[in-house]
């Protein structure tokens, strides 16, 4: 999938601090079309509506640990939806445990990033996903 500056991106994180940090980094990288959701449970209807409107999200950046719907459950919903099987999905977590990586990979994550991370590391992950 081609990477454009207006790639439609959804950041999903329950901490507004993290959403601001990630949005800031994505803007630094050059992206301009960025939306936010404060939980997987908020993100999921946004993703569904975007499909109905014919303007689906092209890249999801989601935290793992959220109170209502985890990033893992959001990923499973995405992967179970026809047309979203290949939607680029970057999982963010504060955990660096091997078990988490394995679980996320099995669920179909595109890549995995551990907090804290820099804009450069985020860019590298994005480049790898979209190469």
Binding site for other proteins (CB under 8 A): 14-18, 20-21, 24, 63-67, 70, 72, 92-95, 97, 99-100, 103, 115-117
Instruction: Give the nearest distance from C-beta 45 to other proteins in angstroms.
Output: 22
Name the token pair of 94.
Answer: 């504060």
Q: Which is nearer to other proteins, 104 or 126 (CB)?
A: 104
Contact between 23 and 34 under an 8 Å Cβ cutoff? The reply is: yes
Q: Which is nearer to other proteins, 58 or 69 (CB)?
A: 69
CB closer to other proteins out of 14 and 36 = 14
Burial 3-24, CB ≥16 within 10 A → b, else e: beeebbbbbbbbeeebbebbbe
């Amino acid at each position: 999938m081609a990477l454009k500056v207006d790639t439609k991106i959804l950041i999903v994180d329950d901490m507004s601090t993290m959403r601001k940090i990630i949005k800031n980094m994505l803007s630094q990288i050059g992206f301009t079309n960025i939306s936010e959701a404060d939980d997987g449970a908020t993100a999921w209807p946004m993703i569904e509506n975007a499909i109905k409107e014919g303007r689906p999200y092209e890249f999801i950046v989601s935290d793992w640990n959220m109170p209502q719907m985890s990033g893992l459950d959001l990923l499973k919903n995405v992967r179970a939806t026809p047309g979203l099987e290949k939607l680029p999905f970057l999982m963010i977590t504060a955990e660096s445990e091997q078990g988490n990586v394995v679980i996320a990979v099995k669920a179909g994550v595109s890549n995995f990033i551990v907090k804290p991370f820099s804009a450069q590391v985020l860019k590298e992950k994005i480049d790898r996903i979209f190469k």
